[in-house]
């Protein structure tokens, strides 16, 4: 099928569906909660998440002020609460969180406000804030995570937790509507990691990473690390300009391991 050009004004909706989160924060006795579709994991070690929040949001002020936020995932049974949390600002409705009917509990690690009814909740400490267009990206290091019993053996049981998916909002002149998709049932598909012919390529990469991470652990200084990475790049038959990015990968590994 041929691609056809899509107007940039609606291109945002190409990126959906996204499971929206509820971002919670508290500062100087004021509690906030807002919906955010623009969030993601950005690091394994340390475990970090990022969320884009516009300065206009009341929650923005609370996250900036406290340096802590909660990231909560609500199941489809709470869909109707997203209108209050995502269309109304606590700047104009002071008791917005109370009126949502959701209960707020404190996280054990940072005391972040979290939603008791959430299927999952993370407590994060703001690590850095990056300005990006009309939103700021808050990158937070996750200090603790919580989940309902729908999360078992390290994975979601999607026959119980039904995530909400956001498809975007319709535009004027018609009525503005937020469009969601709620799954009736999921079909679980399990696929081998790098199956069949792909295995040997995945293994070559694994061997490279093993060498790189060993060097990161053993090198006593930057000069030695660089020498070892140059040697690894040549031994694995890679391109000379692979040295810099792989050296950076090794540095970050060394940093993450402390």
Ligand X SMILES: Cc1cc2nc3c(=O)[nH]c(=O)nc-3n(C[C@H](O)[C@H](O)[C@H](O)COP(=O)(O)O)c2cc1C
Q: Give the interface with ligand X as residue ranges (CB under 6 A).
A: 20, 32, 34-38, 52-54, 57-59, 82, 86-91, 96, 135, 166, 178
Q: How far is the CB of 101 from ligand X (least distance, A)?
A: 16
Neighbours of 32 (CB within 10 A): 25
Contacts of residue 215, defined as CB under 8 A and 6 or more positions apart, other chains included, come to: 225, 228, 229, 232, 250
CB of 121 to ligand X, least distance (A): 17
CB nearer to ligand X: give 85 or 246.
Answer: 85
Q: Which is nearer to ligand X, 69 or 146 (CB)?
A: 69
Give dist(CA 75, CA 102) in Å, integer. Answer: 13
Annotate 44-90 with DSSP letters as a single string.
TTTTEEEEEE-TTSHHHHHHHHHSEEEEEE-BGGGGGGHHHHHHS-T
Min separation Cβ 49 and ligand X, Å: 12
Instruction: Write the DSSP assignment of 21-33 as a string of letters.
Output: EEEEEEETTEEEE
Q: Please state the closest distance from residue 112 (CB atom) to ligand X, in A.
A: 15
Residue 58 or residue 161: which is nearer to ligand X going by CB? 58
Of 33 and 225, CB closest to ligand X: 33
- Contact indicator for 114, 121 with CB cutoff of 8 Å: yes
Cβ at position 162, least distance to ligand X in Å: 16
Q: Which residue sits closest to ligand X, CB atoms considered? A: 86
């Amino acid at each position: 099928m041929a691609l056809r050009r899509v107007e940039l004004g609606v291109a945002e909706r190409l990126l959906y569906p996204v499971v929206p989160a509820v971002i919670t924060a508290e500062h100087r006795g004021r509690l906030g909660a807002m919906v955010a579709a623009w969030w993601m994991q950005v690091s394994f070690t340390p475990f970090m998440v990022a969320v884009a929040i516009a300065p206009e949001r009341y929650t923005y002020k609370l996250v900036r002020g406290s340096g802590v936020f909660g990231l909560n995932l609500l199941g489809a049974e709470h869909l109707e609460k997203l209108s209050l949390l995502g269309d109304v600002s606590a700047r104009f409705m002071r008791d917005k969180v109370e009126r949502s009917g959701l209960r707020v509990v404190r996280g054990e690690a940072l005391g972040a406000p979290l939603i008791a009814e959430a299927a999952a909740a993370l407590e994060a400490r703001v690590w850095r804030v990056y300005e990006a267009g009309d939103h700021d990206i808050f990158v937070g290091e996750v200090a603790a995570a919580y989940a309902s019993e729908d999360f078992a053996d390290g994975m979601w049981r999607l026959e119980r937790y039904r995530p909400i998916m956001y498809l975007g909002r319709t535009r004027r002149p018609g009525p503005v509507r937020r469009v969601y998709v709620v799954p009736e049932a999921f079909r679980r598909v399990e696929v081998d990691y790098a199956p069949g012919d792909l295995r040997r390529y995945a293994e070559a990469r694994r061997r490279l990473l093993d060498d790189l991470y060993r060097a990161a652990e053993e090198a006593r200084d930057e000069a030695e690390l660089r020498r070892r990475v140059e040697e690894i790049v040549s031994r694995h038959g890679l391109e000379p300009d692979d040295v810099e990015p792989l050296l950076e990968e090794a540095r970050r590994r060394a940093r993450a391991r402390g």
